[in-house]
């Protein structure tokens, strides 16, 4: 490059001597200097040759117009792409907010010819100018860099990266040099960066030569040609080396930007210091970065890393670079630690589901912790899989997918709050393409195998494990349906419903599909496609809800006559959502209920409680059970009510105990069980129980979720569907259920879900064994409307 710069110097000087400075006199008042890449003597073939024509005064600019034009023409004729600016020294020493490139290009000033005194004057004033305006220049540089990176979706892992402008490209290396210069340092960059720069520069040189112009995109064709040329047949491997170098530059630039910004902004720093109060015994916060107070503890306690990233996921605070380095230094130890079975699922589940999960996962990936816990993901690191649509490497695609999963756009955003196992969804997102690294099998099969191996070590609960495998196995299904099937054909929808089986899985699968498509490239999820996915979701959702009532268990899997008798008449959903063990427990409960007509079981789950009851059906039973829970001040989160052919009702309530009443007073659990049994058997009055409870204040108008009540007599076989979406409040379910029961409605099937103050309730109701008559329907509608208020 220097050689090329020298050659260009000769051409430029010759033209300048002839046209700009033909006489000794003409040297006065005008100087010629090289700036930008040419100033640095780093000139690529076909790159711009940046020139500064320094004129002493504005008058000089006007007078010299003709010879300057002639000079530039000559250079163009020689085949140089000249990019010139004509300035006075005063103009050079101003901060140009709009044209920061001029200021920046002057950092690489080099004299070529002309008025020595004029040039000397500028050169002399330059350091003081830079010193005085350092903050403004750094701000501008940082803004420009942000804008430039945004054009590349803030990632360096493009399949066809721009070697000059992209994140981790040559421009970022230059940024590093400039920042160091502005900081007053003149130290040579560390050898690692020097190597990275040389690698990228070499590629750029060849790209320009091959294209015959200033072409900086490392295209697939160029990757093939260069991998071949450099004696590495496999372009994918060759690209991994490129990404490694690019990452070194990207990180160093980020670090440098962070540190100079830290020195400049006072107010922001104060705010950041306030955040330092978030720290705890293990982890401190300084300048918006988390650090380990005693990093040497990592050696004895590798799970400290999990706590660090949980902290990041909770507060949105990235680990500091120093801490990241410490963790990287322990990579071998971490890998060994996590390579044996360790039931760390609860810790991972917390990281996966806290508000800043995508940030934490990205930080884990960058620090190599994700790879240490899940070496299954190694094969997809920086992996280029070429196809027409994908823009990113597989690991980057995965990270983007998780970000999309976490912040879906409307209408998908609502689904996220309704997903019952978000940890399993994120895990499935992490592994959905992991199989792309093992080309010998289909990528879905590969991903399933790897996810299974990983789950064998970290041990998620069986149900979540099943969900993960379901999601990975089917992650291409909805896309395939959208692409190849008629969405308005009922058969398509029935098949999709059969495949997804439950509403819960449908929601998770829809989100994963949304995220997977969105992460292919920034414009892959067009509004058109989003609409199609939403159409499909709605249709399958409706199909599954409809099924609740029409699709009953008739013929059975193995398990004895008693079992068949118990299950017959339950919705098929029951089999899909319960394990064998749970069915056995429910049968035992039903056996107990035969003596006294009712049996109730209350138990603690991980983050909530569950009440299960078996009883002979009677009017108002469901309302009574819901009322008993409300009477104890418990919040019902989810509920299901099914009845079998013999009129045995099985109701399940999942509820929260906001005041920790049950937890702190074990005797209250017994009292709840006894009260529920009495109320269900009709031996105690629910209204009595509820009388003493204070009614909560309604939420503010803006936060309220508008109530919607929808009746559908077409949907079910023998019952009317009532679907209610309303603002949740304590006692709501009791009020709704009594509104139905007290107006002669018999509740056949119930599916209740509550997410973030929103209750989504589906009831199938009959009256005298048939669908609701219009009169009954009107009466129930009015009572429900009063209940949701």
Partner 1 sequence: MKKIEAIIQPFKLDEVKEALKSIGIDGMTITEVRGHGRQKGHREIYRGQEYNVDLLPKVKLELVTTAARCEEVVTALAAAARTGKIGDGKIFVYDVAEAIRIRNDDRGDSAL
The contact set with partner 1 (CB under 8 A) reads: 482-488, 526, 528-529, 531-532, 535, 538-539, 541-542, 708-710, 712, 723-725, 760
Alpha helices in 276-375 (DSSP H): 304-315, 321-329, 331-338, 345-353, 357-366, 369-373
Of 19, 71, 20, 17, nearest to 49 (Cα)?
A: 71
Nearer to partner 1, 298 or 503 (CB): 503
Distance CA 525, CA 514 (A): 8
Residue 345 CB, nearest distance to partner 1 (Å)? 33
Residue with tokens 């400075």: 21
Give the per-residue SS3 of 142-160. HHHHHHHHHHCCCCCCECC
C-beta separation of 342 from 458 below 8 A = yes
Q: Whole-angstrom Cα distance, residue 431 to residue 452?
A: 10
Tell me the closest approach of the beta carbon of residue 507 to partner 1, in angstroms: 12
Q: Which is nearer to partner 1, 68 or 481 (CB)?
A: 481
Q: Give least dist CB 400 to partner 1, A.
A: 22
Spatial separation of the C-alpha atoms in residues 69 and 468, rounded to whole Å: 68
Residue 739's contacts (CB-CB under 8 Å, 6 or more residues apart) are 780, 783, 784, 786, 787
Cβ distance to partner 1 smaller for residue 84 or 542: 542
Residue 326 and residue 298 in contact, taking contact as beta carbons nearer than 8 Å: yes
Pick 99 or 526: Cβ nearer partner 1: 526
Cα separation of 783 and 179, whole Å? 70
Nearer of residues 623 and 784 to partner 1, judged by Cβ: 784
CA dihedral 758→762→767→772, nearest 10 degrees, is 90
Neighbours of 638 (CB within 10 A): 18
CB closer to partner 1 out of 170 and 533: 533
Q: Which residue, 538 or 588, is less far from partner 1 as judged by CB?
A: 538
Nearest distance in Å: CB 471, partner 1: 22
Least Cα distance to 625 among 602, 605, 591 occurs for: 602
Q: Which is nearer to partner 1, 601 or 712 (CB)?
A: 712
- Long-range contacts of residues 327-330, Cβ cutoff 8 Å, at least 24 apart: 327/298, 327/367, 327/368, 327/369, 328/367, 328/368, 330/298, 330/299, 330/302
Q: Please check whether residue 291 is in contact with residue 323, taking contact to mean a CB–CB distance below 8 angstroms.
A: yes
709-743 as b/e: b if 16+ CB within 10 A: bebeeebbeebbbbbbbbbbbbbbbbbbbbbbbeb
Q: How far is the CB of 487 from partner 1 (least distance, A)?
A: 8
Rounded least distance, CB 535 to partner 1, Å: 7
Task: Report, in Å, the least distance between residue 765 CB and partner 1.
Answer: 15
Residue of 309, 304, 311, 306 lying closest to 276 (CA atoms): 311
Between residues 200 and 788, which has the closer beta carbon with respect to partner 1? 788
Among 477, 384, 381, 408, residue whose Cα is nearest residue 159: 384
The answer to whether the beta carbons of residues 56 and 91 sit under 8 Å apart is no
* Residue with Cβ nearer partner 1 (155 or 754): 754
- The number of helices, as runs of H, and strands, as runs of E, in the chain is 37, 14
- CB closer to partner 1 out of 450 and 736: 736
At closest approach, how far in Å is the CB of 333 from partner 1?
A: 50
Cα radius of gyration rounded to whole Å, the chain: 34
Query: Smallest gap, in angstroms, from Cβ of residue 706 to partner 1?
Result: 10
Nearest-approach distance from CB 477 to partner 1, in angstroms: 14
Q: How far is the CB of 526 from partner 1 (least distance, A)?
A: 6
Closest CB 724 distance from partner 1, rounded Å: 7
> Which residue, 87 or 485, is less far from partner 1 as judged by CB?
485
């Amino acid at each position: 490059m220097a050689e090329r710069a020298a050659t260009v110097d000769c051409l430029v000087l010759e033209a300048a001597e002839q046209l700009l400075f033909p006489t000794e006199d003409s040297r006065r008042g005008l100087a010629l200097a090289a700036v930008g890449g040419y100033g640095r003597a780093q000139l690529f073939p076909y790159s711009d040759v940046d020139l500064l024509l320094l004129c002493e005064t504005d008058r000089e600019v006007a007078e010299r117009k003709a010879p300057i034009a002639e000079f530039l023409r000559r250079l163009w004729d020689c085949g140089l792409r000249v990019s010139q600016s004509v300035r006075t020294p005063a103009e050079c020493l101003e901060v140009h907010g709009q044209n920061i490139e001029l200021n920046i290009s002057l950092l690489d000033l080099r004299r070529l010819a002309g008025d020595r005194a004029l040039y000397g004057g500028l050169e002399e004033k330059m350091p003081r100018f830079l010193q005085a305006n350092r903050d403004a220049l750094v701000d501008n540089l940082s803004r420009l860099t942000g804008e430039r990176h945004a054009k590349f979706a803030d990632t360096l892992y493009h399949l066809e990266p721009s070697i000059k402008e992209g994140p981790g490209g040559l421009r970022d290396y230059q940024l590093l040099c400039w920042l160091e210069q502005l900081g007053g340092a003149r130290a040579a960059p560390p050898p690692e960066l020097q190597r990275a720069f040389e690698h990228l520069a070499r590629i750029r040189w060849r790209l320009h030569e091959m294209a015959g112009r200033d072409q900086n995109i490392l295209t697939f064709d160029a990757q093939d040609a260069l991998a071949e040329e450099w004696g590495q047949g496999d372009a994918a491997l060759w690209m991994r080396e490129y990404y490694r170098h690019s990452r070194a530059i990207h990180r160093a630039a980020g670090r440098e930007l962070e540190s100079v910004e830290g020195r400049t902004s006072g107010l922001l720093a104060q705010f950041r210091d306030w955040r330092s109060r978030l720290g705890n015994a293990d982890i401190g916060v300084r300048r918006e970065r988390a650090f380990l107070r005693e990093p040497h503890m990592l050696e004895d306690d590798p799970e400290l890393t999990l706590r660090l990233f949980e902290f990041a996921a909770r507060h949105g605070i990235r680990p500091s670079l120093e801490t990241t380095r410490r963790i990287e230094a322990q990579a071998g130890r971490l890998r060994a630690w996590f390579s044996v079975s360790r039931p760390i699922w609860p810790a991972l589940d917390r990281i996966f589901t806290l508000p800043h999960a995508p940030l934490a996962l990205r930080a884990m990936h960058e620090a190599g912790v994700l790879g240490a816990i899940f070496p299954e993901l190694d094969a997809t690191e920086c992996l280029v899989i070429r196809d027409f649509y994908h823009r990113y490497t597989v690991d980057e695609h995965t990270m983007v997918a998780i970000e999309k999963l976490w912040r879906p756009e409307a209408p998908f955003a609502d689904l996220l709050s309704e997903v019952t196992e978000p940890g399993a969804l994120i895990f499935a997102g992490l592994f959905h393409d992991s199989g792309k690294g093992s080309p010998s099998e289909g990528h879905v099969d590969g991903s399933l195998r790897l996810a299974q191996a990983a789950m064998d070590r970290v041990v998620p609960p069986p149900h979540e494990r099943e969900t993960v495998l379901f999601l990975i196995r089917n992650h291409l299904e909805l896309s395939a349906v959208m692409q190849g099937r008629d969405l308005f054909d009922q058969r398509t929808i029935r098949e999709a419903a059969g495949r997804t089986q439950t509403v819960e899985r449908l929601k998770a699968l829809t989100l994963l599909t949304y995220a997977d498509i969105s992460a292919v490239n920034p414009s892959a999820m067009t509004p058109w496609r989003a609409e199609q996915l939403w159409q499909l979701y709605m249709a399958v959702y409706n199909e599954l809800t409809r099924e609740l009532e029409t699709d009953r268990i008739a013929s059975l899997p193995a398990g004895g006559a008693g079992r068949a008798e118990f299950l017959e008449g339950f919705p098929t959903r029951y089999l899909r959502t319960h394990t064998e063990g749970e069915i056995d427990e429910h049968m035992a409960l039903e056996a107990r209920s035969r003596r006294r007509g009712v049996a109730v079981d209350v138990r603690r789950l991980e983050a909530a409680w569950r009440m299960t009851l078996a009883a002979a059906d009677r009017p108002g039973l469901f309302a009574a059970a819901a009322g008993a829970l409300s009477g104890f001040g418990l919040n019902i989160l989810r509920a299901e009510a099914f009845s079998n052919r013999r009129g045995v009702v099985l109701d399940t309530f999942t509820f929260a105990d906001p005041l920790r009443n049950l937890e702190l007073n074990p005797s209250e659990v017994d009292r709840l069980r006894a009260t529920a049994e009495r109320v269900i058997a009709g031996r105690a009055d629910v209204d009595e129980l509820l009388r003493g409870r204070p009614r909560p204040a309604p939420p503010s108008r803006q936060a309220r979720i508008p109530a919607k009540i929808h009746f559908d007599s077409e949907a079910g076989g023998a019952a009317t569907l009532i679907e209610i979406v309303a603002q949740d409040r304590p006692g709501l379910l009791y009020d709704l259920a009594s509104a139905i029961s007290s107006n002669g409605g018999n509740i056949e099937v119930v599916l209740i879900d509550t997410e973030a103050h929103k209750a989504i309730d589906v009831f199938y109701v009959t009256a005298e064994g048939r669908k609701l008559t219009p009169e009954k329907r009107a009466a129930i509608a009015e009572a429900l409307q009063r209940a949701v208020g």
